[in-house]
Amino acid sequence: MPLVFTNISEVYTPMQRITGAALAVKDSRVAWLGSGPNLPDLYRSWPQQDIGNRAVLPGLVDSHTHLVWAGSRVDEYRRRAKGSSYEEILSSGGGIYNTVTATQKASEDELYELARERAKIFLRGGVTTLELKSGYGLEAEHELKMLKVIRRLKETLPQRFVPTLLAHVIPHNWSRQSYLEMFSTELIPEVKRLGLAEAVDVFCDQGAFSLAETKRIFETALEHGLKIKVHAEQLKHSGASKLVAEMGGLSADHLEQSTLDDWQALAKSGTVGTALPGATVILKKPFPKLRAMWDAGVKVAVATDHNPGSSPLYSMFLAMQLAIALGGLSAEEALIAGSKHSAEALAKSDLGTLKPGAKADFIVIEGTDAMLPLYGWGYQPIHAVYIGGNKISAST
Ligand SMILES: [Zn+2]
């Protein structure tokens, strides 16, 4: 049913700020958005809903999460808090392999229940779209299990979920050569055949995949019509961000060790550069130079990298606050990074932005100032979340 939301104190589209706004929605998309008094006659006869002089923001888009996982890494968190590094924990057989074992053991139903509860927390925090990766299954059957969990979340929850196949690490019981062979000749074609992922991501770093291995996986993904993205320049500089830019990829994520050369390649190709502030801060890495990246023409996005090890972060607003405080972005830029740019990192130009034709996904803020959730740390003044113009209850 068409509907006009009226009495909006202010809205960030996010490229533009409009005060005293009205928003017309039809067929789950934005029909019109502008200053209330300018509402065209056409829409004045539509049913109206008074927003109560509250502010509105676009629904947030978290373009990088590992939301499907089982087990607990609380003990590792304690060790890291005492000074152990991620690399030390990984090389002593801990870290990601703990999650792999627990995720392999868990059934599809168990993983679904765990991920569903996490997705609800994100919904309450204003996140209407999430990218979800596989990557803790490692073996083909468990990678497929994770992707089937994501498909089930997509079918049963109101949020929008975008699935990605992740080449995370080489399992201990495989040789590099044979795992790469299996991943490229069996797993990618099967995932494509079943329609279980839109993109393939590679963790290209120390302890994971090399640049040459990453390139090979990307070539296979592209041959199968899947998009590509990469975990790049996090622990060591690998050149993966330049590679993904040159191969027309969606995004290079992390970027703690990235350089001007990398930013210029990303800017030239339009590949999004995604900061993951949770992992940067928890692993005590240098914060990506977001101000310089933005000024070099990179489309900078911000995401949570939610995962049980290096970023148990459930809040996009906190990720954006860190990008402001430590990355030098303005509040307006951080908002763009967490909505429009992060949607572009998923090739979803009709999400993360409120403009005619875009999906009517938005957050109603409890207050007249749209920046309140970026101002208050650990405080989420969210009155309601709408997806496709429908009010969504986080308790469902
Ligand atoms: Zn990640």
Calculate how far, in angstroms, residue 92's C-alpha sits from the geometric centre of ligand 1: 21
What DSSP string runs through 143-169? Answer: HHHHHHHHHHHHHHSSSEEEEEEEE--
DSSP character at residue 308 = S
Calculate how far, in angstroms, residue 307's C-alpha sits from the geometric centre of ligand 1: 7
Calculate how far, in angstroms, residue 298's C-alpha sits from the geometric centre of ligand 1: 20
Calculate how far, in angstroms, residue 370's C-alpha sits from the geometric centre of ligand 1: 29
Residues 336-388 have pLDDT tens digits of 999 999 999 999 999 999 999 999 999 999 999 999 999 999 998 999 999 99
| pLDDT (mean) for 7-19 | 98
Q: What is the pTM of this model?
A: 0.97
Cis peptide before 312, with omega less than 30 degrees from 0?
Answer: no
What proportion of the chain, given as a percentage, has pLDDT over 70?
99
Calculate how far, in angstroms, residue 203's C-alpha sits from the geometric centre of ligand 1: 8
Q: Are 112 and 149 in contact (CB under 8 A)?
A: yes
The average confidence (pLDDT) of the chain is 96
| Structural domains present in the chain | 3-58+353-392 (2.30.40.10), 60-344 (3.20.20.140)
Calculate how far, in angstroms, residue 254's C-alpha sits from the geometric centre of ligand 1: 8
Calculate how far, in angstroms, residue 369's C-alpha sits from the geometric centre of ligand 1: 32
Calculate how far, in angstroms, residue 208's C-alpha sits from the geometric centre of ligand 1: 12
Beta bridge partners of 352: none
User: Is pLDDT larger for residue 87 or for residue 337?
Assistant: 337
Band of residue 88 on the pLDDT scale cut at 50, 70, 90:
confident
pLDDT of residue 394: 62
Residues 182-214 have pLDDT tens digits of 999 999 999 999 999 999 999 999 889 999 999
pLDDT of residue 395: 58
d(CA 67, CA 116) in angstroms, rounded, equals 9
Calculate how far, in angstroms, residue 231's C-alpha sits from the geometric centre of ligand 1: 6
Neighbours of 9 (CB within 10 A): 18
Calculate how far, in angstroms, residue 306's C-alpha sits from the geometric centre of ligand 1: 7
Phi-psi region of 130 (alpha: psi -120 to 50; beta: other; left: phi over 0): beta
Calculate how far, in angstroms, residue 311's C-alpha sits from the geometric centre of ligand 1: 9
Q: Is the pLDDT reported for residue 396 higher than 50?
A: no
| pLDDT (mean) for 148-168 | 98
Residues 265-316 have pLDDT tens digits of 999 999 999 999 999 999 889 999 999 999 999 999 999 999 999 999 999 9
